């Protein structure tokens, strides 16, 4: 339930509402709006009688939230969430473009790619220092050395950084170095990691699991937000279907579906969806056409020799072409 406060409600009246909610054994989370504050009740399993709440000073009305996710729901927060990172805004019309290699391999590799993608117009650099790999024998990432390289990339290029925390044991270190913490598809339902991500002050890039429904994705985002972190970017990165022409199937309908029910920004990863670089530009254009707030794209200076995901990584010149195509769409 959402307790809507009157426009002129005082802080004391809001606190009295929260105290009342806590006396019922639930949590009350204030959501400040442009004109007034709403208090979202979380933790109840069923019906709450709104009569005592309506009698409290400063309360305008009580609205029932019909979705199982509350805080990430558009019912609770009708305005879109805009995430600000230095001079970048995510979810605010101008698409955000994140580019970089699948994995950080060396300082030289990361800097070469970063300078090039920046030149082409990317605002954020991606690169895994901890890699969740299907095989235990595949390259697992450079770990902290990779994080230090990412910090160097930021220092030299001014690009913001996103990199993945793969479990509860490395999120603290990742948090120290990065600007945005990525939670990958395989970890979308790692609830301990989600809760920990909810306690950081850094924005979270949450990728959809390859067999997860939209509702499950939003429930995972709810785990993060219920711990206090409201800065969440969702990412559609392809789901597993019977189609075997691509690595995954880009669920293009996920973008308007999520936007219909949630206020969070949604970006698209065409690289992991396609698994083939030839499809990255057309899928990116499709994603932008249906309202994505941006893209996260794998780019490499030497894809055939990339330690991971070379087949889906764009060459540097192809990324430049992608940016030109995206800029044309925005004219």
* Among residues 299, 309, 314, 318, the one that binds Mn ion under rule CB under 5 A: 309
Give the C-alpha separation, 245 to 228, whole Å. Answer: 41
Give the C-alpha separation, 251 to 238, whole Å. Answer: 6
Which of positions 210-249 make contact with ligand PEP (CB under 6 A)?
237
- Provide, rounded to whole angstroms, the least separation between the CB of residue 114 and ligand PEP: 16
Of 89, 262, 105, 266, nearest to 160 by C-alpha is 89
Residue nearest to ligand PEP (CB): 184
With contacts defined by CB under 6 A, name the span among 33-41, 85-93, 181-189, 213-221 that binds ligand PEP.
181-189
Give the C-alpha separation, 288 to 295, whole Å. Answer: 8
Nearer residue to ligand PEP within complex by CB, 39 or 165: 165
Residue 68 Cα distances to 18, 65, 264, 316, angstroms: 21, 8, 16, 43
Sorted by sequence, the CB contacts under 8 Å of residue 8 that are 6+ apart come out as: 58
* Among residues 20, 77, 196, 207, the one that binds ligand PEP under rule CB under 6 A: 207
Nearer residue to ligand PEP within complex by CB, 132 or 143: 132
* Among residues 58, 95, 100, 128, the one that binds ligand PEP under rule CB under 6 A: 128
With binding defined as CB under 6 A, does residue 209 bind ligand PEP?
A: no
For the chain, where are the alpha helices, taking DSSP H only?
11-23, 51-54, 107-120, 144-157, 171-177, 191-197, 214-226, 254-261, 270-274, 280-289, 316-329
With binding defined as CB under 6 A, does residue 102 bind ligand PEP?
A: yes
Of 230, 180, 202, nearest to 33 by C-alpha is 230
- Provide, rounded to whole angstroms, the least separation between the CB of residue 298 and Mn ion: 6
* Among residues 102, 117, 162, 268, the one that binds Mn ion under rule CB under 5 A: 102
Give the C-alpha separation, 269 to 316, whole Å. Answer: 17
Nearer residue to ligand PEP within complex by CB, 102 or 288: 102
Question: Could you list the residues that contact Mn ion (CB under 5 A)?
Answer: 102, 309
Q: Which residues bind ligand PEP (CB under 6 A)?
A: 102, 128, 132, 164, 184-186, 207, 237, 269, 272
């Amino acid at each position: 339930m959402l307790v809507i406060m009157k426009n002129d409600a005082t802080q004391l009246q809001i606190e009295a509402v929260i105290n009342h909610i806590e006396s019922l054994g639930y949590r009350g989370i204030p959501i400040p709006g442009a004109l007034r504050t709403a208090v979202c009740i979380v933790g109840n399993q069923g019906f709450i009688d709104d009569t005592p709440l309506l009698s409290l000073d400063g309360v305008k009305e009580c609205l029932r939230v019909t979705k199982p996710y509350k805080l990430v729901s558009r019912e609770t927060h009708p305005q879109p969430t805009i995430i600000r990172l230095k001079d970048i805004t995510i979810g605010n019309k101008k698409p955000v473009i994140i580019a970089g290699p699948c994995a950080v391999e060396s300082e030289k590799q990361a800097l070469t790619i970063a300078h090039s993608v920046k030149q082409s117009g990317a605002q954020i650099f991606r690169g895994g220092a901890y890699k969740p790999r299907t095989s235990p024998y595949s390259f697992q990432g450079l770990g902290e050395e990779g994080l230090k390289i990412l910090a160097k990339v930021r220092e030299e290029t001014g690009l913001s950084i996103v990199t993945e925390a793969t479990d509860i044991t490395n999120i603290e270190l990742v948090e120290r170095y990065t600007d945005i913490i990525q939670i990958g598809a395989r970890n979308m339902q790692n609830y301990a990691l989600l809760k920990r991500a909810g306690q950081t002050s850094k924005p979270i890039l949450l990728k959809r699991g390859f067999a997860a429904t939209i509702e499950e994705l939003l429930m995972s985002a709810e785990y993060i937000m219920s711990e206090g972190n409201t800065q969440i970017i969702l990412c559609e990165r392809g789901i597993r279907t019977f189609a075997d022409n691509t690595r995954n199937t880009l669920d293009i309908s996920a973008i308007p579906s999520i936007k219909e029910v949630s206020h969070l920004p949604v970006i698209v990863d065409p690289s992991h969806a396609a698994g083939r670089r030839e499809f990255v530009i057309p899928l990116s254009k499709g994603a932008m056409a249906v309202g994505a707030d941006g893209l996260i794209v794998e780019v490499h200076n030497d894809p055939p020799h990339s330690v991971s995901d070379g087949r889906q990584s764009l060459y540097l010149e192809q990324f430049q072409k992608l940016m030109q195509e995206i800029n044309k769409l925005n004219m």
